[in-house]
Structure 1
Amino acid sequence: MDALPADGPTGPVTWPGSPSPLGAHWDGTGTNFALWSAGAQAVDLCLFDADGTEHRHRLRESTHQVWHARLPGVGPGQRYGYRVHGPYDPSQGLRYNPAKLLLDPYARAVDGQLTLDGSLFGYRGDSPDARTPDDRDSAPHVPRGVVIHDDFPWGGDRPPATSWADTVIYELHVKGATMRHPDVPPALRGTYAGLAHPAFVEHLSTLGVSAVELLPVHHFVSEPHLLKRGLTNYWGYNTLGYFAPHAAYSSAGSAGGQVTEFKAMVKALHAAGIEVILDVVYNHTAEGDHSGPTLSFKGIDNRAYYRLRGGDGSRYTDYTGCGNTLDVRRPAVLALLMDSLRYWVTEMHVDGFRFDLASALARSMHDVDRLSAFFDVVHQDPVVSQVKLIAEPWDVGEGGYQVGNFPPPWTEWNGKYRDTVRDVWSGAQVGVRDLAYRLTGSSDLYRSDGRRPFASVNFVTAHDGFTLADLVTYQKKRNEANGEDNRDGESHNRNWNSGVEGPTDDPAVLALRARQVRNHLATLLLSTGVPMLTAGDELGRTQLGNNNAYCQDNEVSWIDWKDVDEDLLAFVQRLVALRRSSPVLRQEAFFEGHELRQTGGTRDLAWFNPGGAQLTTSDWFDTNLRTIGMYLDGRAIRHRDEFGRRIVDESYLAWLHAGAEKVTVTLPGPPWGDGYELALSTEYPTGVPPRPAVVAPGKVELPGRSVWLMRVLRRP
């Protein structure tokens, strides 16, 4: 058989290929390319030599709106992109422009940087609504897909499969976690390999966390407005490729090496018993609004990928605050999301996902819909439904705040938990009623639809906002370095600077701030639900008052491993260990509060006022009450172990006192307890009393602004 002619003066032969699977897939002798576009009139596959020379190949086959071809001889390492032909009419939502090189939405790896240039934009001149497309070639300024074949030796890799009730999450940034770590080799700092380095893995292990939640690692680029200011998008909530690990986090020199390096990181963390959860951004893309660049989806099929405003196809419906919203109501877009999720589970071995602005994904028409196609598809998917699913249950659109409203099996970032705990320790007169709900798993939010306490991911700080050290140091944000005149970032932070704004040498203020940090952490780790720690909070990390450091890829955001608060680290390690060893502190079922006859009249959960009596109705609605005792009976745990055996644990009495002055409280006597041992106190830098403190029932004095955890003692 004679060889088929090449499509151009140089380059490989083009065969028809297959419409499935989408993306670029090498089969050992050639690569199949497949791109979905419902409205394209023609598609060119563009292959690039090592020197950047481009070879274009017209895709002659289109099956069910998928343009495809197989190129024999094309294999791993090949850089490629697409140029899509079609009408250009922004008023109708049509933005086809073959002068723009487009990244394959299914690219498994990405090579090259986005550089700011006028050719990135599909329109001519300064008017985004111009009917004439810009004809400048964007190829020199945009990243390209890479054909890969990664036969990674997973060996006996097994996900830790930690139960939700046993999970402690550590939210971190891949680069910021190790950029300044002295024990990580310089070449590995800020990379996937840096996270896998024994020095960092040891920190996670000794801290006691069970999962890392990585800020976005899908390949992302920086917004033009940041590049113009000499800044970059550090956090990464500006996704361009939903299958490719972000290339800049790889220490590998070869294109596509980031895939192998990411897998090696996952394998190393799994070996240490740590799960990997990805923060994913499926609600919008890096292409921004009508004035944004044309990099991929906008040029492939703008009307299909994005939600456009009714009556004005030139504008985007923006539920995200980032200029556009992906239209997951469309089957091809929903398939993209699900294919991406399955890929990261099956091929990359990740253990779960945290969905950024998840409410935007659940909007069927305008309102957030609990029965949307997105929920249905996730719920029935045999792969995705089996991993950890966390929703950020809000977006910026009307009605987007949906804390407590996501269906099973979803868990949620509990924004109400954060707000309540901050209010209490900042001195707001909010009483203890809402605090009681948050301490015990937020049954008011999650019980009615059959979910468990671990539906609540509890947190006090996250990447977005003040660090914990800054929360007690600054009353006002300090975001001037972001170049937005301090207008960006949250202004109402529910915080208190401990009486002095910013850094101080006053030892009394410093001691108070340190105790307030411990109070927040003790509350978090003694609460029922899933605690999430923000990387660096256990070390005393500061961002110098910047509460929106999304564009600070520098020492403002990177963890400083040379300036570690060793006492604070020991305090957190002790708290996490105490939690993980005490089933009563991480219960899988909501408390009942009923009297237990087998224990002589105690309750699985009871609340005490300073006088030693159980809280009355008037106590619950007293906004001046700042002291509460929480009694947890370890003999009344309702869930059983894997063998069906009843779990019995020690009992605890926790006191939370947010008042400035010391207060006298009464420890209840039998049947509640015959005595009490102080197991942890935020009064002390490491939480450990200088000597064992065993006290009899009766009156004791709590220091101002403190948390006590007391182990209940009973006579044999």
Structure 2
Amino acid sequence: MRTPEDVEVWPGSSAPLGAHWDGTGTNFALWSAGATAVDLCLFDADGTEHRHRLRETTHQVWHGRLPGIGPGQRYGYRVHGPYEPGAGARWNPAKLLLDPYARAVDGELTLDPSLFGFPFEGGDAGAADPRDSAPCVPRGVVVHDSFPWDGDRRPGTAWSDTVIYEVHVKGATMRHPDVPPALRGTYAGLAHPAFVEHLRSLGVTAVELLPVHHFVSEPHLLRRGLTNYWGYNTLGYFAPHAAYSSAGSGGAQVTEFKAMVKALHTAGIEVVLDVVYNHTAEGDHSGPTLSLKGIDNGGYYRLAGGNPARYTDYTGCGNTLDVRRPAVLALLMDSLRYWVTEMHVDGFRFDLASALARSFHDVDRLSAFFDVVHQDPVVSRVKLIAEPWDVGEGGYQVGNFPPLWTEWNGKYRDTVRDVWSGAHVGVRDLAYRLTGSSDLYRSDGRRPFASVNFVTAHDGFTLTDLVTYERKRNEANGEDNRDGESHNRNWNCGVEGPTDDPEVRALRARQVRNLLATLLLSTGVPMLTAGDELGRSQGGNNNAYCQDTEVSWIDWDGADEDLLAFVRRLVDLRRRSPVLRQEAFFEGHEIPGTALPGTHGTRDLAWFAPDGGQLTTADWFDTGLQTIGMYLDGRGIRHRDEHGRPVVDDSYLVQLHAGPEPVTVDLPGPPWSDGYEFVVSTEYPTGAPPRPAVVAPGRVEVPPRTVWLLRVLRRP
């Protein structure tokens, strides 16, 4: 193979973008509308740089083919053009730039003044900074990966059958005793049988991975000796994060990621990626020049209308990608298609998705982003989840994304937390959340599974901390505890922080079970946060984005086995019970053939007050009501199976009591039920009631802060 210094540059092709090896050479193509020249920089193993001018441009794409250059070659770009920050122009050839289409990334980001396109002490005014950033920034890697996908079968789990497990690649296995030390915290660790078996035993059908696009840490974190752990600071939209590879970063991370996906598919588990297309790691005007900022700043980012030296920031991270522009929209869509077709992932969760749908200022349901996604034959066929908010004005858009999209239902989280923290909010909003949030998703033809229900996520308290702390404990983040949400809709059960008091500990354990039972008995798609099923704590830190330590990693040795058994019980029950995961919204209509002489029949959905009567209008607006019975009739399911046959299931009564004192309720009798069998009770550590567990209709006492799931019994 020829060495970089003696390689001639052939014209090559403007498509596809990125670096592509054809067996005898590599074609390089980079879009930049305003550049005056582009240098392709190739690096030897010892770091020696060889520059090659790309002299061909086609439709604003600079391109060239270098024969003899193949897989493993490290490369970057230096892009020439005017340095006029006041006009939005930030070209500076002293800065080595990562190819936005790089399939793999090698090397670390080292905090150094040369990262910045201007003399750092003087802001972004004046002349361009002449210091060479190449020794301090990552490089792209030419990749050709012929992974043996033979036999890989996507699980293709229906939305209504989906149970999501949100998990961090590194944090999942860093402390797992059965994963070999060399594999912990890596893609291979996530694919290890010990972890895969945990997922299978739990019953989840999809993992939602926190960002795995290659990312770097923000300068302000590096200055404090911290790093970005969560990964919401993307640098490369095509490259798997190199630090999660057990096999190195010369392209081996691509193969290891694919092997992880294949192993999870073999176990029947889908892979959903949390993707960050709303902003990049380059930050605001004072941030580093690493890629897009130096390639074509005004072509990739939304610049402030009155001052192009600054960025429009809908993300809280300094910049916002301008998805209104064709080249940016193409970057996003090319990335999505790549991860589906080449990496075999099954879906995406879009971070701060509202920022992607802003046409000018407002969030637009008819934006080009939605149009392109909906018509794309690849992307439109996978699972699409929106985080339906950003930090800009009007960015909170829960319920407003168009059909084809599911959403993280922030209203579900807020309502369920309010109910169990003792807030007097009544049961009206809770009823909507328990039954798929028809008030949010029905009007535009979406179904209950448009609602991704969750109580906790990576961002915020863990479930254990939600019932242990009322105040965040984020001092370790280095921001004087100013960061993180201060209003968490939570309750510490009367004592702040850990305690040895057995009554408080028992109450906290029951509250965790109440929250999980509510989540897993609700219509919609439940999302569990990794470690919540084991009792994981972050010591009260509710913004652990920069804690790449045991604070964030799952503690497997300290697992709460009773809680794990409880979650397994609920997930398995949900899997076996179609009435708990319905594909259509409830109608509340009477079911034909269920009436007894002189009575009305049962309904597919009915709500009962403590006195045994159905809820009245006054009850629905009574903010002091903390007890509700939800009756689900398994004979009223309106979807059919794959053969077109009606689906029939058992019927259930979910009795939920969030009050601090016991309450007497009347369990409804015929025609609703001739008796009830206890299936789950949050009174008990594993949820399993003692036997016999049958109760007749009529008056029973429900303990304080309890959820019961009762199976309806009928005489033959």
- Name the TM-score class by shorter chain: over 0.9
Give RMSD over aligned pairs.
Answer: 1.0
How far apart are 1:254 and its partner, in Å?
Answer: 5.1
How far apart are 1:10 and its partner, in Å?
Answer: 2.4
Q: Which residue of 2 aligns with 1:3?
A: none
Does residue 429 of structure 1 match 2:424?
yes
Question: What number of residue pairs does the alignment pair up?
Answer: 711
How far apart are 1:37 and its partner, in Å?
Answer: 0.2
Q: Which residue of 2 aligns with 1:612?
A: 612
Is the alpha carbon distance of 1:343 and 1:8 closer, same or farther for their aligned partners in structure 2, counting shifts above 3 Å?
A: closer
Q: Which residue of 1 aligns with 2:661?
A: 661
Alpha-carbon distance in 1 for matches of 2:120, 2:229: 29
CA contact (8 A) 1:11 1:55 kept: no
Does residue 344 of structure 1 match 2:342?
no
Residue type matched to 2:575 in 1? R
Residue type matched to 2:697 in 1? P
Residue type matched to 1:646 in 2? P
Is the alpha carbon distance of 1:204 and 1:91 closer, same or farther for their aligned partners in structure 2, counting shifts above 3 Å?
A: same
Residue type matched to 1:604 in 2? D
Residues 61-84 of structure 1, C-alpha deviation per residue, up to 9 Å, x if partnerless? 000000000000000000000000
Matches within 5 A, 1:102-121: 102-121=97-116
Q: Which residue of 2 aligns with 1:541?
A: 536
Q: Secondary structure of 1:412's partner?
A: strand
How far apart are 1:129 and its partner, in Å?
Answer: 2.7
Alpha-carbon distance in 2 for matches of 1:254, 1:566: 37
Alpha-carbon distance in 2 for matches of 1:269, 1:9: 40
Is the alpha carbon distance of 1:634 and 1:123 closer, same or farther for their aligned partners in structure 2, counting shifts above 3 Å?
A: same
How far apart are 1:397 and its partner, in Å?
Answer: 0.1
Q: Secondary structure of 1:423's partner?
A: helix
Alpha-carbon distance in 2 for matches of 1:599, 1:479: 56
Q: Which residue of 2 aligns with 1:439?
A: 434
5+ residue gaps, structure 2: 596-600
Matches within 5 A, 1:26-105: 26-105=21-100
CA contact (8 A) 1:105 1:296 kept: yes
Alpha-carbon distance in 2 for matches of 1:42, 1:254: 30
Q: Which moved more, 1:236-245 or 1:693-702?
A: 693-702
Alpha-carbon distance in 2 for matches of 1:278, 1:232: 21
Q: Secondary structure of 2:393's partner?
A: coil
How far apart are 1:579 and its partner, in Å?
Answer: 0.3
Does residue 635 of structure 1 match 2:638?
no
Q: Secondary structure of 1:622's partner?
A: coil
How far apart are 1:12 and its partner, in Å?
Answer: 1.1
Determine which of 584, 595, 598 is the counterpart of 2:593.
598
Residue type matched to 2:607 in 1? W
Percentage of identical aligned residues: 85
Does residue 17 of structure 1 match 2:12?
yes
Q: Which residue of 2 aligns with 1:208?
A: 203
Q: Which moved more, 1:294-303 or 1:119-128?
A: 119-128
Q: Which residue of 2 aligns with 1:399?
A: 394
How far apart are 1:636 and its partner, in Å?
Answer: 0.5
CA contact (8 A) 2:171 2:553 kept: yes
Q: Secondary structure of 2:236's partner?
A: strand
Residue type matched to 2:68 in 1? G
Alpha-carbon distance in 1 for matches of 2:609, 2:220: 54
Does residue 680 of structure 1 match 2:680?
yes
Q: Secondary structure of 1:312's partner?
A: coil
Alpha-carbon distance in 2 for matches of 1:579, 1:8: 60
How far apart are 1:692 and its partner, in Å?
Answer: 2.8
Is the alpha carbon distance of 1:125 and 1:162 closer, same or farther for their aligned partners in structure 2, counting shifts above 3 Å?
A: closer
CA contact (8 A) 2:681 2:689 kept: yes
Residues 566-600 of structure 1, C-alpha deviation per residue, up to 9 Å, x if partnerless? 00000000000000100000000000001223222
Q: Which residue of 2 aligns with 1:292?
A: 287
Give TM-score scaled by structure 1 length: 0.99
5+ residue gaps, structure 1: 1-5
Alpha-carbon distance in 2 for matches of 1:38, 1:174: 37
Residues 518-577 of structure 1, C-alpha deviation per residue, up to 9 Å, x if partnerless? 000000000000000000000000000000000000000000000000000000000000
Does residue 477 of structure 1 match 2:464?
no
CA contact (8 A) 2:666 2:697 kept: yes
Residue type matched to 1:562 in 2? D
Alpha-carbon distance in 2 for matches of 1:253, 1:246: 11
Alpha-carbon distance in 1 for matches of 2:16, 2:249: 25
Matches within 5 A, 1:249-648: 249-253=244-248, 255-600=250-595, 601-648=601-648
Residue type matched to 2:660 in 1? A
How far apart are 1:130 and its partner, in Å?
Answer: 1.5
Q: Secondary structure of 1:263's partner?
A: helix
Give TM-score scaled by structure 2 length: 0.99
Residue type matched to 1:557 in 2? S
Q: Secondary structure of 1:550's partner?
A: helix
Residues 613-670 of structure 1, C-alpha deviation per residue, up to 9 Å, x if partnerless? 0000000000000000000000000000111000000000001100011111111000
How far apart are 1:126 and its partner, in Å?
Answer: 1.5
Is the alpha carbon distance of 1:374 and 1:221 closer, same or farther for their aligned partners in structure 2, counting shifts above 3 Å?
A: same
Q: Which residue of 1 aligns with 2:598?
A: none
- Which aligned segments of 4 or more residues in structure 1 are displaced greater than 6 angstroms? 6-9
Q: Secondary structure of 1:308's partner?
A: coil
Q: Secondary structure of 1:193's partner?
A: helix
